[in-house]
Homo-oligomer: A and B are copies of this chain.
Amino acid sequence: MNADFLGDIQTPALVLSLEALDTNIRTMATARPDATLRPHVKAHKCTGIARRQVAAGHRSFTCATPLEVIGMARAGVGNDLLLANECVDTRRLAAMATAERETGIMVTVAVDSPITVDLAADAGLRHVLIDVNVGLPRCGCAPDAARSIAERAVGRGLIVRGVMGYEGHLMTAPENDKPSKVEECMRLLIRAFDSVVDVAGDECRIISAGGTGTYHVFDRHDSVLGRVNEVQAGSYALMDSSYGAQPLPFEQALYVVGTVVSTTSGERGSWAVIDVGLKSLGMDHGNPHIADANVWFCSDEHTTFSMIDGPLPRVGERVLVRPAHIDPTIAMHTAIHVVPRWGDAVIDVWPVDLRHW
Contacts and interface: CB of A to CB of B under 8 A. Distances in A.
Given A261-B85, A331-B279, A91 B300 contact: no
A259 interface: yes
A282 B278 contact: yes
Contact of A262 (B86, B89, B91, B327): B86
A268 B140 CA distance: 13
Interface stretch (A17-25, A108-116, A240-248): A108-116
Contacts of A266: 142
A262 B140 contact: yes
A196 interface: no
B42 A10 contact: no
Interface in A159-199: 168
Contact of A116 (B87, B92, B315, B328): B315
A320 interface: no
The DSSP consensus for interface residues of chain A is loop
Interface string A5-27: 00010111000000000000000
A348 B88 CA distance: 24
A342 interface: no
Interface in A248-296: 259-264, 266, 268-269, 271, 273, 275, 278-279, 282-284, 296
A11 B64 CA distance: 14
Contacts of A86: 261-262
Interface stretch (A54-62, A71-79, A131-139, A225-233): A131-139
Nearest to A10: B89
Interface centre among A11, A278, A300, A328, by most B CB within 10 Å?
A: A300
A261 B325 contact: no
A103 interface: no
Contact of A315 (B42, B115, B279, B316): B115
- How many copies the complex holds: the figure is 2
A304 to B, nearest CB: 5
A299 interface: yes
A268 B144 CA distance: 14
B11 A137 contact: no
A98 interface: no
A301 interface: yes
A137 B304 contact: yes
A332 interface: yes
Contacts of A259: 88-89
A298 interface: yes
Nearest to A284: B283
12 contacts: A10-B92, A86-B261, A88-B315, A113-B262, A115-B316, A133-B264, A137-B269, A138-B273, A138-B304, A139-B262, A282-B283, A332-B332
Pairs A-B, 4 closest by C-beta atoms: A283-B284, A139-B262, A86-B261, A278-B328
Interface of A: 8, 10-12, 42, 64-65, 85-89, 91-92, 112-113, 115-116, 133, 137-140, 142, 168, 259-264, 266, 268-269, 271, 273, 275, 278-279, 282-284, 296, 298-302, 304, 315-316, 325, 327-328, 331-332, 334, 356-357
Given A116-B315, A133-B264, 15 more contacts: A42-B300, A65-B301, A86-B261, A88-B260, A113-B262, A137-B269, A138-B299, A139-B261, A168-B299, A278-B282, A278-B328, A279-B331, A283-B283, A284-B298, A331-B332
